[in-house]
Amino acid sequence: MRARVLDATVECLSDLGYARTTTIEVAARAAVSRGALLHHFPTKADLVTAAVEHVFARRHTDFVAAMQRLPKGADRAAASIDLLWEIFQGPPFVAWLELAVASRTDAELRPRYRQVCDRFTATVAATFAELFPPPDGQLTGTHFVAPALAFALLDGLALRRITGDDPALTRAVLDAFKDIARLMIPQEDS
């Protein structure tokens, strides 16, 4: 039931936006009673932040598994960017964006959203360090900022895509970013 509710919440955030996402609509889409939903998620802020965190946890697991399946000698920098770009397509990104914008003016949501962001950032940094260990063992300089750089660029491209960006330009930017990433991320020996 919990997964159905959280998936329905992401769907509502993506389809309706934060302002029009209600516990009544989420309960209907998840085919649960509103009382059951409120028992697990007493406030809208509880519900929406749990939903986005749920999706990101699932996407993180999928991303790590896909990276581990890459053959030895694969272009891991390019593959990681392609996998991340896939994550930035569709309802989970739109739901995340809805919460980001809503948290600016919603005093109850803001600290919850900040906590989710902090956990997400820590998970991304740890995953990056594990998948792409720095040559000297220290996360400093460019290697330290690489995850933030990647997400800032992909966030921006995903926002442009929502407003009708040119797909050829997006592809060119992603290809240029892969070239830069190859300079920042050491390749495995074949």
Q: What average pLDDT does this structure show over 5-23?
A: 96
Q: 185: which residues sit within 8 A by CB, 6+ positions away?
A: 76, 77, 80, 132, 146
Residue 26's pLDDT is what?
97
Q: Using the 8-state DSSP alphabet, how is residue 189 labeled?
A: P
Contacts by residues 26-35 (CB-CB < 8 Å, ≥ 24 positions apart): 30/1, 30/4, 30/5, 31/4, 32/1, 32/4, 32/5
User: Which residue reads 């516990």 in tokens?
Assistant: 23
Token pair of 179 as six digits: 């070239």
Q: What average pLDDT does this structure show over 40-59?
A: 93
Convert the pLDDT of each residue in 151-171 to its tens digit.
Answer: 999 999 999 988 887 899 999
Q: What is the dihedral of CA 8, 11, 13, 14, to 10 degrees?
A: 180
Residue 190's pLDDT is what?
47
**Residue 186 pLDDT exceeds 70:** no
DSSP 3-state helix, strand, coil percentages of the chain (rounded to 5)? Answer: 75, 0, 25
Convert the pLDDT of each residue in 99-142 to its tens digit.
Answer: 999 999 999 999 999 999 999 999 998 998 888 887 776 666 77
pTM for the whole structure: 0.84
- The Cα–Cα gap between 33 and 82 comes to 39
Residue 45's pLDDT is what?
94
Residue 53's pLDDT is what?
92
Query: End-to-end CA distance of the chain, in Å?
Result: 45
Residue 140 in 3-state DSSP?
Answer: coil
Burial class (CB in 10 A: 0-12, 13-18, 19+), 146: buried
**Residue 145 pLDDT exceeds 90:** no
**Residue 60 pLDDT exceeds 60:** yes
Domains of the chain plus CATH, in order, are: 44-184 (1.10.357)
